[in-house]
Each structure stands twice: as structure tokens, then as C-alpha cells.
Amino acid sequence: MLKNYIINKDQSIYNVLELLEKNPYKILFVVDSDDKIIGSLTDGDIRRYILSTGNLSGTTYDACTKNFLFLNESKNKSKVTEQALSVGAKVIPVLNNQNKLIEIIFLEDHQEKIIADFENIEYPVIIMAGGQGTRLEPFTKVLPKPLIPINDKTILEIIIEKFNNYGFNNFYVSINYKGYIIKSYLNECKFDFQINYIEESQPLGTIGALSLIKNQINSDFVILTNCDIIIDIDYLSLIEFHKKNQNDITIVASTKKYKIPYGVCHLDKNGFLANIEEKPEFHFLVNTGMYIINTQLLQLIPESTLFHATNLIEIAKEKGYKISIYPVSDNAWIDIGEWTEYKKTLSKFNI
């Protein structure tokens, strides 16, 4: 079991972010070539490193916390546990005199308290489901894109249920194209919470529909998501990130790696060959289509006008609002917006 919490210092953070998202305690311990613990690494450490450096190809050693809380096997456990609770730690590594990991203390009670702190929070989740889904024709000539099946459920049901599993029960769904089918289907689902509908009389883009309800929102912010994506992350951690950093907009962005399968020729300033780079890799942060947006910014959305989330982000940036990125791994983002991605999604679900 201990080996599941150990990572080599030279591992790429690109790959490790995915491991951390699957790790129930979101922590790994970084070791050197002698298996000595030299740091702790959380998903928060990686996000801070990416945001501060813009570098997606760093190592675990670059991103880890070197000054971390640990317990020596010969020391009093209760004092260190008390200290860990005071700083919000969930895990304490126990090291021997050679700084090697011999035990991990899991603070289960504290984890339950953190989850309880987020109960009864009713931030609105707004799902944009009014588009025509032209990239998925001819399927969407018959059914609207939000009702595309994955296993025995629609993508829209999966999105709603994932949020509801974290305690969210205040949902808005924007509808336009074949909206009556979406509305009828969701009404048949018989959720134990109400679905509110934003009915567009014309296509309003990826955020324009919010102009119809912007004066009805009483919470500090809303969570906005496209209807053709699943983001498999801890939504409470996302909210905590948004609040802690005092963001006006938080964009959930996926890490993406592209490898050129050829030798790339680089030229010098005179146009002669400088060198050939064999099969280079490039790392990017890609907008997934999920956002947290402070409610006051909804006033920037024009009434009944085709308007996209990217338009709002551009205007907010020009006005000096704080916009930040919440990086997630490529594997945490499931996109069914076009046929190739839909087929990949089916393979992920073993269909």
C-alpha cells in the first residue's frame, strides 16, 4: 500500500496530476534515488506550480513541498496529529531515521469534517443545453445532444448526478433546440430536487441565456458547464480554490499533450538549418467548458444576444477582473462534442 503513495522526484507532473486525482487523499510523497522522502506533493502543489511557472513539463521535485509535516518513528504521535489537524492536513507520513517511509497516518475524522463543511451549500449549477450539436449529426437530427447515451444514461443525467453526489441540488438547464424533448426526458427522471429551465427563444451561445436569469441569482457565484462534457474531479475542491484565490472567474482547463511524429526543422535567423528536433512534445492547457463565475459579472452579459463564455472572459479581463485557471488532467475531462471524442468516451466506459 505504501508504494501507492510514493513517486520518484524525476516524474513529470503532467502524468502525476492524473495519479493525484485518483488518490483518495490527493497526496504523494516524493523520493530520491535512495528512496528517501524529500517532499510531499498534492494536486494543489501542482496547480500552484503550473499557474506560477506556466510549465507543464516540470518534475515532481520542482513542484513538491520540501518543508512538509512528518512524524519520526520515535516521536510522540498525538502532538504531531494535533498539529496536522490545526493546519488542515489529512495525512501524516511516518519516517524512520533514514527518512524512509514506514507508515502513513490517515486522519479519517478530519476528512469527514471537511466534507461536512460543504453540506447545504446551494450554488447554482447551470448546464448549457440549447445548442444544435451540429458536429454530432446525423444523431442530433433525431435527438438533442444532451440526451446522447453513455451506458444506460444520458450525458445530461451523468452531469447532474455527478454534481448531486457532492450535495448540489440547485440546477438550471438552458434549452432551445429540441428543448421540449430535453424537458420531457428530465421530468421523467424524477429527481428528488427541482430542475429549473432557461428557455431561449433564439440561440444565445454558451452563456447568453444567463441574461434571462441574472437578476434571480442570490449566491456569490454560479457554476457553468457545457452539456457535452464530464469533468471527473472533486467539485468542492474547485469551489475552495475559487474562493481561496478570490477569483472572479475560474476556468477549468485540461492538460493536453501533443506529440509531433516527425523530426521538426528549426531555422536560424538567416534561414539555414539550425537543428532537427526529433518528435517533440508540446503541452497545453485547454478550456474544457466549465467555469465558476461570480454573480456580479453576469451583469456584463447583454440581453437576448448571441454571447459566448469566451466573450464574457475577454470583457472581464479588459475590465481588470481576476481570472484564473484550475488545471485538471487530460483523463479527468471527457468530451463528447464530436464523433471521435464520443467514440473515445465509449471506450473509457467499456462500451
Which pLDDT value is given to residue 134? Answer: 76
Q: 14: number of CA atoms within 13 Å, CB side?
A: 16
DSSP string, 182-236: HHHHHHHH--SSPEEEEE-SS--TTTGGGGGTTTT--SSEEEEEETTEEE-S-HH
CB 38 within 8 A of CB 32: yes
> DSSP character for 302?
P
Judged by average pLDDT, the poorest of 78-82, 146-150, 207-211 is 78-82
State mean pLDDT over 224-251: 94
Mean predicted lDDT score pLDDT of the chain: 86
Give pLDDT, residue 111: 46
Fold of domain 125-348: Spore Coat Polysaccharide Biosynthesis Protein SpsA; Chain A (3.90.550)
Whole-model pTM: value is: 0.83
Say if 2-117 and 125-348 have the same CATH topology.
no
Sign of CA pseudo-dihedral 313, 123, 213, 197: positive
Cα distance between residue 233 and residue 326, in whole Å: 11
Give the up-direction half-sphere exposure of residue 29: CA atoms within 13 A in the CB hemisphere.
25
Pairing of strands 71-72, 221-226: unpaired
**Fold entry, domain 2-117:** CBS-domain (3.10.580)
Q: Taking residues 252-266, what's their average pLDDT?
A: 93
Q: β-pairing, 333-335 with 323-328?
A: unpaired
Q: Answer yes or no: is pLDDT of 297 > 70.
A: yes
Phi, psi of 304 (to 5 degrees): 45, 50
- pLDDT beyond 70 at 292: yes
Mean pLDDT of 281-290: 92
Work out the percent of the chain whose per-residue pLDDT is above 70. Answer: 87
Q: How far apart are CA 313 and CA 303, in angstroms?
A: 17
Does residue 81 have a pLDDT over 80?
Answer: no
Domain boundaries, the chain: 2-117, 125-348
pLDDT in tens, 112-169: 444 444 455 679 999 999 887 777 777 778 788 889 888 888 999 999 999 998 889 9
pLDDT confidence of 351, banded at 50, 70, 90?
very low
Question: For residue 207, which of 282, 301, 279 has the smallest C-alpha distance?
Answer: 301
